Amino acid sequence: MEATTSHLLDFEPPPIFCNSCLGSTDPEYLTYNLAVSGVLLAIVGMIGLIGNVLVVKTYLHPEQAIHSTSIYLAALGFSDFFLVLTAMFLFVLEAWRHHDYPTLAYMYVIGAPIIFPVAAVFQTSSVYFCVAAAVDCFIIVVLPESVKQLYCTPRQVHLKYFTIVLY
Q: Is residue 5 part of a domain?
A: no
State the Cα torsion 41-43-46-47 to the nearest 10°.
-110
Question: For residue 130, which of 76, 82, 83 has the smallest C-alpha distance?
Answer: 76
Residue 48 in any domain: the answer is yes
- What tens digit of pLDDT does each residue of 131-161 get? 988 988 898 899 888 888 888 888 888 788 7
15 belongs to a structural domain? no
Residue 106 lies in a domain: yes
pLDDT number for residue 24: 56
Per-residue DSSP letter, 16: P
Instruction: Kindly state whether residue 137 falls inside one of the protein's structural domains.
Output: yes
Number of domains in the chain: 1
Residue 11 within a domain: no
What is the amino acid identity at position 167?
Answer: Y
Domain of 52 in residue numbering reads as 27-166
pLDDT in tens, 83-138: 999 999 888 888 887 777 778 778 888 888 999 999 999 999 999 989 988 988 89
Global pTM value: 0.73
Q: DSSP per residue over 74-131, as a string? A: HHHHHHHHHHHHHHIIIIIHHHHTTTT-HHHHHHHHHHHHHHHHHHHHHHHHHHHHHH
In whole angstroms, give the CA distance from residue 166 to residue 83.
Answer: 17
Cβ atoms of 79 and 122 closer than 8 Å: yes
Examine residue 139 and state whether it is found in any structural domain, yes or no.
yes
User: Is residue 157 included in any domain, yes or no?
Assistant: yes
